[in-house]
């Protein structure tokens, strides 16, 4: 379908239906451009909590739209592509997690927002990469903690908070693919560059980084830091917002292990959403995210605790 037609129709349908489009920084640039708000997982959850729209179109992945629905039971929440999952969420099966949890009955359960509603319902607290340290530090020292599903983020938090965490062994397919050898090679060619990394990256990548933070944290760091060149170790979609925010700085995507055409990491799940799917989902009001009320109430508790602490 013609891009101008899609933009026109999405704009018209949005007004007609009082819909809002929330998009994550990893979305395709056309999707980011048409969104009413772009942000990291925490900002998007907060935006979803405060919107007056009747329909939320969540241009992100399944767990993000599900979180928006948990926070907004009376609004229609749409996800342009139902298959837009996440390796972290998909790698933490509720039955397996329930068995895992049983081994540590006296532990407080903290889960990264990149998990299903069923996992959230089994948690005491939810966190995002932007507030994970703060959430762990809010738990008093005498409590032992389970952290799931991201092992890399868990390892990073153990170092940052000096707390001993029992970790679920999940990972992000995008962030675990960064190559340290290629990163060092790139850095040697750009010795004045600063490396900014997302904490879902492996510990050897984080060790090499000058800054570690959420997608918004990385954008704010690069905006305010005086260096001229940055190597960015997170999903490549962030470069769209970054290049608008800092047009005079040089931004280099961190190289991944696999050689691919753009020599950078892309999340195949995030990129499933397209302008055309966004148009169709607004027009047909489908696929719609639905969560049973029983599950929603249980999953809401740890999300609300997180939002109060953030």
Q: Is 269 in the site for ligand SF4 (CB under 6 A)?
A: yes
Count of positions on this chain that bind ligand SF4 (CB under 6 A): 13
CA distance 130 to 197: 13
Look at residue 304 and give its three-state secondary structure: helix
One of 40, 66, 118, 241 touching ligand 13P (CB under 6 A): 40
Q: Is 128 in the site for ligand 13P (CB under 6 A)?
A: yes
Q: With beta carbons less than 8 A apart as the criterion, state whether 1 and 248 touch.
A: no
CB-nearer residue toward ligand 13P: 88 or 275: 88
The one segment of 29-37, 86-94, 154-162, 255-263 that binds ligand SF4 by CB under 6 A: 86-94
CB-nearer residue toward ligand SF4: 172 or 280: 172
Distances (CA, A) of 189 to 181, 231, 234, 283: 13, 11, 20, 49
Residue 143 assigned ligand-binding role: no
Residue 267 assigned ligand-binding role: yes
Q: With beta carbons less than 8 A apart as the criterion, state whether 125 and 303 touch.
A: no
One of 51, 214, 256, 274 touching ligand 13P (CB under 6 A): 214
CA distance 22 to 25: 10
Q: With beta carbons less than 8 A apart as the criterion, state whether 154 and 147 touch.
A: yes
Q: Binding partner of residue 128 among ligand SF4, ligand 13P, none, CB under 5 to 8 Å per kind?
A: ligand 13P
Q: Is 129 in the site for ligand 13P (CB under 6 A)?
A: yes
Name the E strands within the chain. Answer: 19-24, 37-39, 55-59, 76-78, 107-112, 125-127, 144-148, 165-167, 194-197, 211-212, 229-233, 250-253
Q: Binding partner of residue 40 among ligand SF4, ligand 13P, none, CB under 5 to 8 Å per kind?
A: ligand 13P
- Residues linked to residue 279 through DSSP beta bridges, in sequence order: none
The one segment of 46-54, 128-136, 152-160, 188-196 that binds ligand 13P by CB under 6 A: 128-136
Residue 24 assigned ligand-binding role: yes
Which residues, 6+ apart, have CB-to-CB distance to 186 below 8 Å?
193, 231, 252, 254, 255
Least distance from C-beta 120 to ligand SF4, angstroms? 15
One of 136, 174, 183, 289 touching ligand SF4 (CB under 6 A): 174
* Helices vs. strands in the chain: H and E counts, helices first: 15, 12
CB-nearer residue toward ligand 13P: 114 or 274: 114
Catalog residues that contact ligand SF4 under the rule CB under 6 A.
Answer: 61, 86-88, 114, 172-174, 200, 235, 267, 269-270
Q: Which residues are annotated as a binding site for [4Fe-4S] cluster?
A: 86, 172, 267
């Amino acid at each position: 379908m013609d891009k101008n037609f899609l933009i026109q129709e999405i704009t018209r349908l949005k007004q007609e239906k009082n819909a809002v489009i929330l998009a994550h920084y990893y979305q395709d640039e056309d999707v980011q451009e048409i969104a009413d708000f772009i942000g990291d997982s925490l900002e998007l959850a907060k935006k979803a909590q405060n919107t007056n729209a009747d329909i939320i179109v969540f241009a992100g992945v399944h767990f993000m739209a599900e979180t928006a629905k948990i926070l907004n039971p009376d609004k229609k929440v749409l996800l342009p592509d139902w298959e837009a999952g996440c390796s972290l969420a998909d790698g933490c099966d509720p039955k397996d997690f329930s068995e895992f949890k049983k081994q540590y009955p006296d532990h407080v359960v903290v889960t990264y927002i990149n998990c299903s509603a069923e996992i959230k319902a089994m948690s005491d607290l939810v966190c995002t990469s932007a507030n994970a340290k703060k959430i762990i530090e809010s738990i008093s020292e005498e409590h032992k903690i389970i952290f799931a599903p991201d092992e890399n983020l868990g390892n990073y938090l153990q170092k940052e908070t000096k707390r001993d965490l029992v970790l679920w062994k999940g990972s992000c397919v995008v962030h675990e693919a960064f190559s340290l050898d290629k990163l060092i090679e790139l850095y040697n060619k750009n010795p004045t560059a600063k490396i900014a990394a997302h904490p879902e990256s492996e510990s050897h990548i984080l060790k090499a980084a000058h800054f570690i933070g959420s997608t918004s944290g990385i954008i704010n760091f690069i905006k305010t830091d005086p260096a001229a060149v940055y190597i960015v170790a997170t999903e490549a979609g962030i470069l769209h917002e970054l290049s608008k925010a800092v047009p005079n700085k040089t931004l280099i995507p961190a190289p991944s292990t696999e050689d691919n055409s753009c020599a950078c990491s892309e999340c195949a799940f995030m990129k499933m959403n397209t302008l055309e799917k966004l148009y169709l989902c607004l027009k047909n009001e489908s696929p719609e995210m639905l969560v049973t009320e029983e599950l929603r109430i249980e999953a809401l508790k740890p999300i609300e605790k997180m939002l109060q602490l953030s």
